[in-house]
A = this chain, B = another copy of it.
């Protein structure tokens, strides 16, 4: 459903947010380890997230990434997707027609646009902090 890049971005964001809630800053190696994602690839993803202002990065000793709760409330999942260069599903057509819309619907349009829009709303309405606050049950890693 989502690309690998996107999945890694979701996991990295959540893992960093969890750590930040405990005042902990995570290094790239930490994040790769806790998400079970390839380190070099995770570096790219984090770069994108940092450039988009979703996480803040710091170089050098005691450096790493963080995303404090106050900021995490302002970040939703759609923003994470867009940070790694993927559009949410907005005007996506199930049949791949560029010209498909409610005025010019493809045969699947009515059925598909309902669930597509529900998905988009979910991505828009779900902020990172809300994902994190539910799991005070000791989850700190999101490995496969």
Instruction: Give chain A's interface residues, CB within 8 Å of chain B.
Output: 1-2, 4, 7-8, 10-11, 14, 77, 89, 92, 94-99, 106-108, 111-112, 114-116, 118-119, 122, 126, 131-132, 134-135, 139, 142-144
- Once the chains bind, are B95 and A142 in contact (CB under 8 Å)? yes
Known contacts A107-B14, A111-B122, A111-B126: A99-B142 contact under CB 8 Å: no
User: Closest approach, in angstroms, between the C-beta of A132 and any C-beta of chain B?
Assistant: 7
Q: From DSSP, what is the main secondary structure of chain A's interface residues?
A: loop
Which residue in chain B gives the minimum CB-CB distance to A4?
Answer: B96
Is B111 within 8 A of A144, CB to CB?
no
Q: A11-B95, A115-B119, A115-B122 are in contact. List 19 more A-B contacts (CB 8 A).
A: A1-B92, A1-B94, A1-B116, A2-B94, A7-B95, A7-B96, A10-B94, A11-B96, A95-B142, A97-B142, A97-B143, A98-B144, A99-B144, A107-B134, A107-B135, A114-B122, A115-B115, A115-B118, A119-B119
